Chain A
Amino acid sequence: MKVNDLPLRELFDKLRQAGWVLGIDEYELLLEALMKGFGIEDEAALKRLCKTLWVKSVEDEKNFNSYFNEVMSKSLENPLVTVEQPTAQQPPIPTAQPQVKQVKTTPTLPRNDERVSPDKLPPPEPRRDQPPQPQTQPSSEAEKSEPAESEFMPQEVAVEIDDDVQLLKTITSKQFLLYSDYLPLTKRKMKQTWRYLRRPIREGPLVELDVTATIEKIIRDGFFLEPVLVPQRRNRVELVLLLDVDGSMVAFHLLGDRLKETATRGGKLGASRVYYFHNCPVDYVYGKPGYSEAVRVEEMLRGLSPNRACLLIFSDAGAARGGYSEDRLQLTERFLGQCQQHLRYLVWVNPVPRERWAMSTAGEIGKLIPMFECDRLGLQNAVKVLRGNPVSWS
């Protein structure tokens, strides 16, 4: 097969559609590598090459394999597929024998021989004889099991035959890749958004020379006395995630976990901590989703630096089930009051769409604290609030 005939472009497009960060540069890089003699021996070499150039993480590797196989098998076995398509749509039982014979008559293809040999059914005959032999004593049982066995055996053969059919099926029919990504706010977008959450603070020993200040000082003094030193700038942000769990939040557990995961892995959020609660934090929050490792709210707040800590609450605030609960509102108000006394930056992210907030507790809570939807814009705004920029939210 010539390089030009390879469906590299198709593969590239597929990966891009799947959200991979690939640009035309990466495609050209592949062509360059091919021209320089990489990945041209066989399919495996090509696969290795594409992997090295395009795959950027271990998770991507699995997806890549499936895409690559899909695209390549389609192109390499194109004629085969057109011939055998009718069988592929038949139910996978050997009753479709005439159909198989039709295939047999089609132009000689290596695969056909393989397919036909199990059809002749010589191997199952001796096998069917074998099982009853040891079961001679309980004859009644043996008889019972006999039909079951004979029913079963051809099916087993069918499975063997249909391996090929199955294979073709996966080749011909569209393959599905199961995504667990939440589309209004994908993992990548979450990670990107967290990157904006930073609070560079000059802190620590005086090590960096402030050139401008030193020169100004020399000018002021008329001669050089000592240099002006400043501490290094560091990113000091403490993110505290408070995740509502159970009850109406069950549907959003995955999303909460993803927020947590991207926050801790995606950015350098120095001391990011996660606590859990149910409906509203009352006196305690929990270190684990199963309400273990209880921490008093005061204790949690005391451990945070008032000027740096950012508190993000992820909860539906009662909007998922709707309805208005005075109790809930009061408890939440008390908790928020407690937090606001200690912390400067607080924000609420609500996984339920904004239209559902009105007429529920969420609408009222939204008046107490900046509350945003859990989509890209919402999270971006939430991060803005945490950085101390004013954002209108109501």
Chain B
Amino acid sequence: MDNRVNQPMSNQRYTGKVHPPTDHKENGQRVYPYLPSDELVEAVNLAIILQRPLLLQGEPGCGKTKLAQAVAYELGLPYLCWTIKSTSRAQDGLYTYNNLARLRDSQLLALGQITDPEEIRRIKDPKTYVELGKLGEAFLSDKTTVLLIDEIDKADIDFPNDLLLELDEKRFTIPEMKKEKTAKHPPIILITSNQERDLPDAFLRRCLFHYIEFPNKERLIEIIIARFFGVTEDKSTIPDPDENQLIQEVVAKFSELRELLDKEKGQRGKNISTSELIDWFDVLRRYPHDEVLKQLQGKLPYLGVLLKSWDDHRLYLSKL
């Protein structure tokens, strides 16, 4: 993993081929292998080299969010995630100024409660009360960071436009400190959107765009194997043929169901996707394989993991 550190950014390329070992954890969360398509790898590299944010769209559950972590792992960079909520404001991503704490401290100081000169110096420094947001943190970090801005379409209409200057010029001002901060190492920014609403043109203009296509059957099998059995150098990863048969069968049934929903619902609703397949397989593999294989021939077991609405259930049962 030597290539993951201490290299100027321009030489770093994401390949999508370096995967974390099965027991790798970051902040208590397991980091799973991610298998990007070649186009996606290219888009990520473009974003790195051209220093533009990469906007990712795709069906829910097709792996938009997980990409950022995989990129951070392979390049050996710190990973930050800014999850957007309906109340998020662009400013909060940069910094918040804790006026309240400052007021409290100045009151204590005025009342003569604080005497420690070190403490007094701290209170008099306006920098003390600046609390950086994720974007601010990524800008001011000593190392290039991978920043994920997750579900940007959740925020208010003005949110993306409020970030234009910051994303464009990689700098922001803190009026409370009368200072302008410029990013030392421009972060690699990945943005995901669920297309709940269209983003403003001015914002789109500054982003690179990639639509993550749903993986085909072979890819799904690879994903399942990578997820549950890890990725090894030689491709013979599956422990035994019994396991292999189960994977093949589960993915086949999954694809069938997906096609059915696609045909019946079209673009109108959410279809099952990779994340559901992973959950489903996770349940099924805990049971004796021959039993599961038998069950898969009839009504699919643990449908609740796949179908999240009563309409979908009914649709499936009627086609059975």
Contact = CB atoms under 8 A, between A and B. Distances in A.
Interface stretch (A55-63, A124-132, A287-295): A55-63
Contact of A56 (B45, B100, B197, B209): B209
Contacts of A211: 99
A283 B55 CA distance: 47
B50 interface: yes
B204 A32 contact: no
B13 to A, nearest CB: 10
A268 B201 contact: no
B200 A195 contact: yes
A336 interface: no
B157 A195 contact: yes
A191 B49 contact: no
A195 B201 CA distance: 12
A142 B99 CA distance: 95
Interface residues of B, number: 30
B197 A55 contact: no
Contacts of A223: 107
Contacts of B119: none
Interface residues of A, number: 37
B208 to A, nearest CB: 5
Contact of A224 (B42, B103, B209): B103
Given A235-B156, A268-B197, A49 B205 contact: no
Interface stretch (A21-29, A73-81, A177-185, A239-247): A21-29
A52 interface: yes
Given A36-B49, A209-B100, A58 B57 contact: yes
A49 B46 contact: yes
Contact of B198 (A32, A224, A227, A265): A265
A216 to B, nearest CB: 13
Given A61-B211, A211-B99, A265-B197, A21 B87 contact: no
B201 A21 contact: yes
B46 A53 contact: yes
Contacts, number: 77
Contacts of B200: 195
B52 interface: yes
Interface in B64-106: 87, 99-100, 103
Nearest to B45: A38
Interface string B151-185: 00000110000000000000000000000000000
B43 interface: yes
A3 B214 CA distance: 33
A267 interface: yes
B157 A235 contact: yes
A267 B197 contact: yes
A306 to B, nearest CB: 23
Contacts of B157: 195, 198, 235, 267-268
A266 interface: yes
Nearest to B155: A268
A232 B92 CA distance: 13
28 contacts: A21-B201, A22-B205, A26-B205, A29-B52, A36-B49, A38-B42, A48-B39, A48-B42, A49-B42, A52-B42, A52-B208, A52-B209, A53-B46, A55-B209, A56-B201, A57-B198, A57-B209, A58-B57, A61-B211, A192-B201, A209-B99, A214-B99, A224-B107, A227-B103, A235-B157, A266-B197, A267-B157, A268-B157
The 7 closest A-B pairs by CB, nearest first: A56-B204, A21-B201, A268-B157, A224-B107, A52-B43, A56-B209, A209-B99
